[in-house]
């Protein structure tokens, strides 16, 4: 049972949340999505990262807010959570 730190409510158990998959996927503007390739990228393709991944999480049985989380998909360790619109925090040791 993961312990997830909702940026609005604090640490709460996993059962209060729903994972919304990979984060920071920009919904293309109508003109940008004219070509099939870029729309397919948006609609179907995900990184499927083994390691640290930015995700959307929804505190559905809590404040109902969506937020972002950096989670290691291998260990389930959460490195950080942050609000929608905020930039991902720099992680110690991360390349970017």
Partner 1 sequence: MKPTSQSHRLDQMGRIDRNRPLTFTFNGKPIQGYAGDTVASALLAHGIHLVGRSFKYHRPRGIISHGSEEPNALLRVDRGAGREEPNNRATVIEARDGLQVFSQNHWPSLTLDALEINDLLSPIFSAGFYYKTFMWPAKFWKKLYEPLIRRASGLGEAPGTADLDRYQHRFAHCEVLVVGAGPSGLAAALAASQNPQTRVFLVDESTEMGGSLLHDAEAEIDGQGALDWLEASLATLASRKNLTLLTRTTAFGYYNHNMIGLAERVSDHLAMPQHLPRERLWQLRAGRVILACGAHERPLVFPGNDRPGILLAESIRAYLNRYGVLAGQRLVIATCGGAPYQLALEARRAGASVTLCDRRRPDECGPELGLAEAAGCEILTATAIVGTRGHDRVRAVQIAPIHGAPPSLPRWLECDAVGMHGGFTPNVQLYSQSRGKLRFATEIDAFVPGDAVQANQSAGACRGIYDLDACLLDGWQAGGGTHRTFVASPRPGGFLPGGPWEDATGGEKAFVDFQNDVTSKDIGFAVDEGFRAIEHVKRYTTTGMATDQGKTSNMNALGLVARKLRQPVARTGTTTFRLPYTPVSFGAFAGPHHEAMFDPVRRTPMHGEAEAAGAVFEDVGTWKRALFFRREGETMAQAVAREARNVRENVGVFDASTLGKIEINGPDAGAFLNRIYFNDVLKLAVGRARYGLMLREDGHIFDDGIIARLDTNHYHITTTTGGAGRAQAHLENYLQTEWPELQAYATPVTEQWAVISVQGPRAREVLAPLMTGMDISRAAMPHMSVRTGACCGVPCRLFRVSFTGELGFEVNVPADYGPMIWRAILDSGRGIAPYGTQAMHVMRAEKGYIIVGQETDGTASPADVGLGAMTPRSKPDYVGQRGLLRAEMTRPGRKQLVGLLSLDPAQVLDEGAQIVRHSRADVPMASLGHVTSAYASPNCRCAIALAMVENGAARHGETVYVTRPNGWSKVHICPPVFVDAQGSRVHG
Q: Which residues of the chain form contacts with Zn ion (CB under 5 A)?
A: 6, 8-9, 59, 62-63
Q: How far is CA 56 from CA 4, 22, 68, in A?
A: 12, 6, 5
Q: Contacts with partner 1 in 28-67 (CB under 8 A)?
A: 28-30, 33, 36, 39, 42-43, 56, 58, 60, 64-66
Cβ neighbours of 66 (radius 10 Å): 15
Residue 92 neighbours by CB under 8 Å, 6+ apart? none
> Between residues 44 and 48, which has the closer beta carbon with respect to partner 1?
44
Binding residues for partner 1, how many (CB under 8 A)? Answer: 26
Task: Say if CB 66 and CB 4 are below 8 A apart.
Answer: no
Work out what residue 71 binds among Zn ion, partner 1, none; the CB cut-off runs from 5 to 8 Å by kind.
none
Cα 1–chain centre separation: 18
Question: Which residues of this protein are in contact with partner 1, per CB under 8 A?
Answer: 1-3, 13-14, 18, 20, 27-30, 33, 36, 39, 42-43, 56, 58, 60, 64-66, 75-76, 84-85
């Amino acid at each position: 049972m993961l312990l997830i730190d909702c940026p609005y409510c604090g640490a709460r158990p996993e059962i209060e949340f729903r994972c919304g998959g990979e984060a920071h996927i920009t919904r293309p503007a109508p003109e940008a999505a004219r070509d099939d390739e870029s729309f397919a990228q948006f609609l179907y393709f995900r990184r499927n990262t083994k390691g640290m991944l930015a995700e959307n999480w929804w505190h559905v049985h809590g404040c109902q807010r969506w937020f972002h989380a950096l989670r290691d998909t291998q260990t389930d360790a959460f490195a950080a959570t942050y609000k929608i619109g905020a930039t991902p925090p720099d992680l110690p040791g991360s390349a970017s």
